[in-house]
Amino acid sequence: MSSPPAGASPTDRDPRGDAAVAVVIPCFSELRWRHLAAAVESVLAQTAPPAEVVIVVDHNDTLLERATRQWPEARVMVNRFSPGASGARNTGAFSVTSEIIAFLDDDTVADAEWLRRLTAHLDDPTVVGVGGGVSPAWEGRRPSWFPDVFSWVVGAHAPAAAESVTEVRNVWGENMAVRRERFLAVGGFRPDFGKVGHHSSPEDTDLCIRMAAAGGRWLLVPSARVHHHVPADRTTFRYFLRRSFFEGEGKAALRSMSPPGSLAVERAYVGKELPRAFLAGFTRPLQRDRSGAAARSASIAAGAAAAAAGYAWGSVTEAVRSATSRRRLPGSGS
């Protein structure tokens, strides 16, 4: 796990001492400036403002300078760890003293009541972390072939997702709040596992599993809502298949580093939710958009196949990595 950087200067800490909530926003590209600005401004406009807003720039000096000029009321930092969302989030989280740390991505916009609703349930000492609802903000038209059951491909919850507070295995890093003490106890996000650029791994799921294993539970609070920007280049079928493949690959890696039974949620999704959604495209007699429904069912089959291929590839990769590591151990005979 990562650890707080040694020798951090006093200016890297919150000068106001312990505070209620700090919000950490990682960012990496000037091409997303408009969305970063919307994310930061949505946090500054909260009805229950955070004690501190920390913007962590992922190894981009130009973006660092620009963000520092733009938001003097926030603390802008450079990622102290390896490139990627995990290192950037850890950098911000390790630098604050607030009891609660909330994470928001640089391409999401929070509702005005987001932070108040997200953190309210952390009054319960058995809750180690909370996540909120995520709605897609499509840049263009949503593709008619895109199935709701694959909304996670564009970083959003399905429209039919539960609207009541629910205990869950994991929430998403783009809309999450954690108890700082419990977050630090497990070392934060795994530094060698997570999103780098446009390649994604389920670092948030891994964090949730580790924090829960240390004792506690996670809640999903759908009313603590953010809106995730979905650019036009993520509405193509090619992106849909690629993202599904990477998800399968990431879940294979997650299985190798998690306790047995950790992927029960995925098994239920593949064994129940996907077949039900697939058949719905052919069995609803009064459906007006029959061709669109059939296309969505076909997309479900293609997405499931891509994820399965990614899982198979990831499983082979993990097996090779494990075998290589064993051969390098002292006394292994190599």
Poorest-pLDDT segment among 8-12, 67-71, 255-259: 8-12
With 90 as the cut, is the pLDDT of residue 25 above it? yes
pLDDT value of residue 168:
97
pLDDT value of residue 182:
97
pLDDT value of residue 282:
75
pLDDT value of residue 92:
98
Q: Which DSSP letter does residue 266 get?
A: H
Contact 76, 58 (CB under 8 A): no
pLDDT value of residue 197:
56
Poorest-pLDDT segment among 21-25, 85-89, 188-192, 318-322: 318-322
- Mean pLDDT over 277-286 rounds to 76
CA 212, distance to chain mean position in Å, is 17
Grouping H, G, I as helix, E, B as strand and the rest as coil, residue 134 is: strand
Tokens of 299: 């997309």
Poorest-pLDDT segment among 160-169, 194-203, 223-232, 324-333: 324-333
Element (H, E) at 222: strand 217-230
Contact 19, 52 (CB under 8 A): yes
- Mean pLDDT over 264-276 rounds to 95
Question: CA 102 to CA 104: how far, in whole Å?
Answer: 7
Q: Where are the domains of the chain?
A: 236-324
Pairwise pLDDT comparison (10 vs 96), residue with the higher score: 96
Which letter, b or e, does each residue of 167-192 get, where b requires 16 or more Cβ atoms within 10 Å of its Cβ?
A: ebbbbbbbbbbbbbebbbebebbbbe
pLDDT value of residue 159:
87
Pairing of strands 217-230, 108-110: antiparallel
- Mean pLDDT over 154-173 rounds to 91
Pairwise pLDDT comparison (206 vs 318), residue with the higher score: 206
Task: Note the residue count of the chain.
Answer: 334
Cα–Cα–Cα angle for 309, 254, 328, nearest 5°? 95
CB atoms under 10 Å from CB of 72, counted, come to 8
Output the DSSP codes for 93-114: HHH---SEEEEE-TTEEE-TTH
Pairwise pLDDT comparison (33 vs 13), residue with the higher score: 33
Q: What is the mean pLDDT of the chain?
A: 89
CB atoms under 10 Å from CB of 107, counted, come to 22
Poorest-pLDDT segment among 96-100, 193-197, 234-238: 193-197
Cα–Cα–Cα angle for 294, 298, 302, nearest 5°? 170
Confidence of residue 196 (pLDDT cuts 50, 70, 90): low
305-333: per-residue pLDDT in tens? Answer: 999 999 999 999 989 888 877 666 565 44
Grouping H, G, I as helix, E, B as strand and the rest as coil, residue 77 is: strand
Model's pTM, two decimal places?
A: 0.88
Contact 13, 95 (CB under 8 A): yes
Question: CA 6 to CA 51: how far, in whole Å?
Answer: 24
